[in-house]
């Protein structure tokens, strides 16, 4: 069995951003020799997440609205009491709501690879969520198989 480790780099926009990273994962499959196995996609930040779902513009807006209802930025959070926290950087944002949103989603997805292709359903895409943009982000991708 072969294991290949790759990184996808993203520069995100302000606020909640949802990005379809399926094409980037497919490109990584094309340049590597794995024909059958799996792809592990892992979110490397505490205010980001991953999901497999439909990449439809209006649905993605619904998801953003839903997440904002679950963890409103305007609520009071202890994590945002920056003056009470130790060893924080000068540019630390008040982003407790982003952490909470990320915890309600997933940090990873595993997708089967069959005949060199992601075995996703017709309407499925791998979606990366940045819940605290704008930022430079990385997604770890591990391709394993034969």
What residue spans define the domains of the chain? Answer: 2-75+92-145
Contacts made by residues 63-70, CB under 8 angstroms, sequence distance 24+: 63/18, 64/16, 64/18, 67/16, 67/101, 67/104, 67/131, 68/16, 70/100, 70/101, 70/104
**Could you tell me what percent of the chain has a pLDDT over 70?**
100
Asked if 139 contacts 8 with a C-beta cutoff of 8 angstroms, the reply is yes
Asked if 130 contacts 47 with a C-beta cutoff of 8 angstroms, the reply is yes
How high is the mean pLDDT of the chain?
97
Helices (H), the chain: 22-31, 57-70, 96-104
Among residues 142, 145, 111, the alpha carbon closest in space to that of 44 is found at 142
Place of tokens 């969520």: 129
- pLDDT at 64 (0 to 100): 98
Q: What is the average pLDDT across 51-63?
A: 98
CATH class (in words) of the domain with range 2-75+92-145 = mainly beta
Asked if 4 contacts 34 with a C-beta cutoff of 8 angstroms, the reply is yes
pLDDT at 27 over 90: yes
pLDDT band with cut points at 50, 70 and 90 for residue 33: confident
pLDDT at 131 over 90: yes
Taking only the tens place, the pLDDT of each residue in 67-120 is 999 999 999 999 999 999 999 998 899 999 999 999 999 999 999 999 999 999
Place of tokens 């996609």: 41
Asked if 131 contacts 63 with a C-beta cutoff of 8 angstroms, the reply is no
pLDDT band with cut points at 50, 70 and 90 for residue 25: very high
- pLDDT at 90 (0 to 100): 87
CA distances (Å), 7 to each of 10, 72, 95, 141, in order?
10, 31, 25, 6
């Amino acid at each position: 069995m072969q294991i290949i480790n790759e990184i996808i780099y993203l520069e995100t926009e302000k606020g909640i951003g949802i990005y379809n990273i399926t094409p980037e994962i497919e490109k990584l499959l094309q340049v590597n020799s794995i024909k059958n196995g799996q792809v592990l996609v892992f979110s490397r930040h505490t205010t980001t997440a991953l999901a497999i779902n439909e990449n439809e513009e209006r649905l993605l807006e619904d998801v953003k609205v839903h997440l904002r209802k679950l963890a409103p930025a305007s609520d009071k959070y202890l994590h945002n009491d920056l003056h009470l926290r130790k060893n924080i950087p000068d540019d630390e944002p008040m982003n407790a709501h982003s952490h909470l949103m990320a915890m309600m989603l997933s940090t990873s997805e595993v997708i089967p690879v069959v005949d060199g292709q992601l075995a996703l359903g017709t309407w499925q895409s791998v979606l990366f969520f940045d819940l605290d943009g704008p930022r430079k982000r990385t997604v770890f991708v591990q391709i394993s198989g034969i």
